[in-house]
A = this chain, B = another copy of it.
Amino acid sequence: METLPGVTPQEQQNTYFYIGQHETKRTVPVTTELGNQAQDAGYDMMTRPITSPGFQAKVLALVDAYFEAVSASANADAIPYPLVAPLTPEDTNLVPDEYISTMICCTSTWIDLASPDPVIAHVSRQVFNHEVAYAAFCGVNNIMIQGPDLEASSVISQYARAIWNSLEAGPYINLQILLPMQPAESKTAEDGLSLAGRARDSFKTIKSMSTDALWSWDTWELIRSTCKYHPRLTVALEVPQKLPSSEIQSRWFSEPLRTLMLPESTFARNAKGFPVLNKPVQALLTRYMRLKTVPWIILSDVGPIPGQNHPGMPVNLPDRSASPDLPTPAQSKRKQQTQTQKPKDLTPHLSYIRHLQRTQPPRPIIDRFAAGYQDFLQSPLQPLTDNLESITYEVFEKDPIKYEWYERAVAAALKDLHKKLQRPIVVAVVGAGRGPLVTRCLKASASTGIPVKQWAVEKNPNAYVLLQRRNATDPLWNKRVTVVKTDMRAWKGPVIDSSPAKVDILVSELLGSFADNELSPECLDGVQHVLHPEHGVSVPASYTAHFTPIAHPKIYADLLSRTDDQKWELPYVTMLHQYDDLCIDPKTLQPDIQTAWEFTHPLPEAIIAQSNLRRGGSVQAGGGGMVGGDGWNEHNARFCRLRFTASSRGVCHGLGGYFETVLYSPENGSKKIELSINPNTMEDKSKDMISWFPIFFPLKTPLYIPTASEIEVSMWRQTDDRKVWYEWQIEVFASLGGSRQRIAASDLHSSIKNGCLM
């Protein structure tokens, strides 16, 4: 990126905006020279039509001649449909020149692929196919296609099929469908130069859908579903001055936006007469330009490319370093004083967008941390079966919040226990890793002044080496820590003065993005026997899993392209990014993220006792778990059935999952110490914590969620004593004809083949 004069390095690190120029009706042919002029003017790209106005006139005349022949004839069926001749050099000035791969070619806007009139549809398809085929031949990479007329009589399936067909025309062509965010309130007047205007009324009788505010999105949804979420099919979204509802803005955020189209009408004029965007549109731009795949911005009908009417003449370019709305005093003075006028800004809209680019607000911390990881699917860790690498621990240890909170929790627990026990507190960190929690326990002891006897238990033989070294060398540890290498479930407990003792505070961090998915319950149950039966405390005290239905076309398309047949049957850890929450609580305006289930520690004694009886298949206990095994882990099975209300219609691609945990709840009733990645509570409970990304449970087949319908999710945590896995199923209910009916149900998904081994 070139250094722009007057721009700070910080500003320069803002995302670069690729800005293009478009004219609905170009008045000059697009040539290499025009391309140069656009580049000189500061545009990164421009659009070009494929065929000429002469071609348009030719085709319209052909259609008119056909209709005349039909009205004059006794047998309309005997007259062949109009046949559009292949392109001649007069029909197109597109050639494989130096800009061929940088310009966006536009197919003709005067056709109507969705026409209910079969002749109009037929001729439109011919024009469209000629144009796409020729553009593909020339080596064009990007084609923009006018979306279908958002009329009730449009035949979207027919339009979609034509798009599907053209995706096969060339293996490298990317297609963008140009659509408004919502249908226009009034229809633009026909100018007699379109095919749509020639459709016969007798064919317009069948009304398809009610054309409400979501109809534009709905149209896109059918097109992309028909095209099987093709990776080369994207959206060019026209942003109006008066934005649609926030639901619609959020909905488009989740779609593959290749381009944001800003027509002249979207701009307002500021007091000085410069074109500007209102605050809501600026906010939308800020939001959309933070997408991982940054959309291009195309300015439409904002004026000609400087010099385009004077080919060959150099253009006096304006000074872009100044803010377009406030000339500096120096400039004002210079304006008065100098003879040579500062050149007028011939591309004020472009200047303004560049200004916005440079003055974008900084991104939140978590965005910067997660850059590159957005929507990148990872298999959940299995730290129980696998031994983590040092670098993994190192990344975890960078979290600025988590360990702070653990320290606070241990400090509070120390205070509560010391009141009761009046002796050194026995603290054990189980799953100690490289020791950061041990450090925090020692710090809590120091800050509260309460002495502790500290244990660190770790099964990973490699991490164990580091723990021992740390104990020997770390000044805070000072050889005071007893380091034990064992799976915590096999640990017999601390020995103090040659006698077996119990642990007063059991500290662990075994949580996954869905709380229990790294088997914290199974581990802590297994080590509970070392905890003091009366006053023993677990940090964390409890944790909950949460989820909500979401739309996520990007992840769905990603999974669709993979060949592994188990891909739909397991959850993924991912920085959820380009998605839309489907169920917004109308009171709080937040996504309705509900609680699936909870685990608390330590467990009541009776439950552990029954589990132990069942271990080894005791007949008295009842043996025989329900899914195999003896059932000694059955108390850790969970089931929930939650009901959500869809805010507006959409498509559900799966569930976004999160967790929360109460590390410790102080006895004096002061605020619980909690961690959360639940978007609704994370700011409040543990702002800026980076250690966990959310989790995503996919659906193999996207479910349509109509307006005013309810989504019921059944989810199971299953166990057969050897492993743990999840199962999930989604049903959709709506009120039809006065009765509540099921209108769709997903498969029952099961991650049993990718279960977490105990």
A610 proximity list for chain B (CB < 8 A): 80, 83
Quick check: is A267 within 8 A (CB to CB) of the other chain? no
**Interface stretch of the complex, out of A35-43, A154-162, A243-251, A277-285:** A154-162
Checking B85, B707, B731, B740 against A736 with a beta-carbon cut-off of 8 angstroms, the contacting residue is B707
**A303 smallest CB distance to B (angstroms):** 38
Contacts A80-B635, A639-B118: A623 and B86 contacting too (C-beta < 8 A)? yes
Contacts A118-B639, A627-B165, A741-B649: A734 and B748 contacting too (C-beta < 8 A)? no
Number of A positions contacting B (CB below 8 A): 83
Checking B222, B228, B712, B741 against A742 with a beta-carbon cut-off of 8 angstroms, the contacting residue is B222
A81 proximity list for chain B (CB < 8 A): 635
Contacts A158-B639, A610-B80: A707 and B624 contacting too (C-beta < 8 A)? no
**Interface stretch of the complex, out of A4-12, A205-213, A483-491:** A205-213
A606 lies within 8 A of B210 (CB): no
Quick check: is A607 within 8 A (CB to CB) of the other chain? yes
Quick check: is A268 within 8 A (CB to CB) of the other chain? no
Quick check: is A125 within 8 A (CB to CB) of the other chain? yes
Quick check: is A626 within 8 A (CB to CB) of the other chain? yes
- For chain A residues 206-230, which have a beta carbon within 8 Å of chain B? 206-210, 212, 218, 222, 225-228
A742 lies within 8 A of B704 (CB): yes
Instruction: Please name the residue on chain B nearest to A609 by beta carbon.
Output: B80
A706 lies within 8 A of B209 (CB): no
A623 proximity list for chain B (CB < 8 A): 85-86
A227 proximity list for chain B (CB < 8 A): 748
Q: Map CB proximity to B onto A508-540 as digits: 1 under 8 Å, 0 otherwise.
A: 000000000000000000000000000000000
Quick check: is A91 within 8 A (CB to CB) of the other chain? no
- For chain A residues 65-123, which have a beta carbon within 8 Å of chain B? 75, 77-81, 83-86, 118
Contacts A78-B604, A606-B79, A748-B226: A736 and B739 contacting too (C-beta < 8 A)? no
Instruction: Please name the residue on chain B nearest to A731 by beta carbon.
Output: B157
Contacts A624-B86, A624-B130, A742-B218: A708 and B736 contacting too (C-beta < 8 A)? yes
SS class, residues of chain A in contact with chain B: mixed
CA distance A744 to B745 in the complex (A): 11
CA distance A164 to B729 in the complex (A): 13
**Best-surrounded residue of A157, A605, A614, A704 (most CB of chain B within 10 A):** A157
A206 proximity list for chain B (CB < 8 A): 641, 643
A84 proximity list for chain B (CB < 8 A): 622
Contacts A157-B729, A607-B78: A745 and B622 contacting too (C-beta < 8 A)? no
Quick check: is A544 within 8 A (CB to CB) of the other chain? no
Checking B155, B207, B735, B740 against A641 with a beta-carbon cut-off of 8 angstroms, the contacting residue is B155
Quick check: is A64 within 8 A (CB to CB) of the other chain? no
A164 lies within 8 A of B606 (CB): no
A209 lies within 8 A of B733 (CB): yes
Instruction: Please name the residue on chain B nearest to A228 by beta carbon.
Output: B747
Quick check: is A621 within 8 A (CB to CB) of the other chain? yes
B604 lies within 8 A of A75 (CB): yes
Checking B80, B160, B604, B707 against A607 with a beta-carbon cut-off of 8 angstroms, the contacting residue is B80
A621 proximity list for chain B (CB < 8 A): 83
B78 lies within 8 A of A606 (CB): yes
- For chain A residues 166-208, which have a beta carbon within 8 Å of chain B? 206-208
Checking B161, B622, B635, B707 against A741 with a beta-carbon cut-off of 8 angstroms, the contacting residue is B707
B622 lies within 8 A of A83 (CB): yes
Quick check: is A265 within 8 A (CB to CB) of the other chain? no
CA distance A649 to B707 in the complex (A): 19
B704 lies within 8 A of A739 (CB): no
A735 proximity list for chain B (CB < 8 A): 736
A741 proximity list for chain B (CB < 8 A): 209-210, 218, 649, 706-707
Contacts A228-B747, A604-B78: A734 and B736 contacting too (C-beta < 8 A)? yes
Quick check: is A364 within 8 A (CB to CB) of the other chain? no
Q: Map CB proximity to B onto A322-363 as digits: 1 under 8 Å, 0 otherwise.
A: 000000000000000000000000000000000000000000
**A113 smallest CB distance to B (angstroms):** 12
Quick check: is A129 within 8 A (CB to CB) of the other chain? yes
Top 9 nearest A-B pairs by Cβ distance? A78-B604, A210-B739, A83-B622, A157-B714, A80-B610, A226-B748, A708-B737, A706-B743, A85-B622
Interface residues of A (CB under 8 A from B): 75, 77-81, 83-86, 118, 125-126, 129-130, 133, 155, 157-158, 160-161, 164-165, 206-210, 212, 218, 222, 225-228, 600, 604-607, 609-610, 614, 619-624, 626-627, 631, 635, 639, 641, 643, 649, 701, 704, 706-709, 712, 714, 716, 727, 729, 731, 733-737, 739-745, 747-748
Can you give 16 contacting A-B residue pairs, CB < 8 Å? Answer: A77-B600, A126-B626, A129-B624, A129-B626, A130-B624, A155-B641, A157-B712, A160-B748, A161-B729, A161-B748, A165-B626, A208-B740, A209-B742, A210-B739, A222-B745, A649-B741
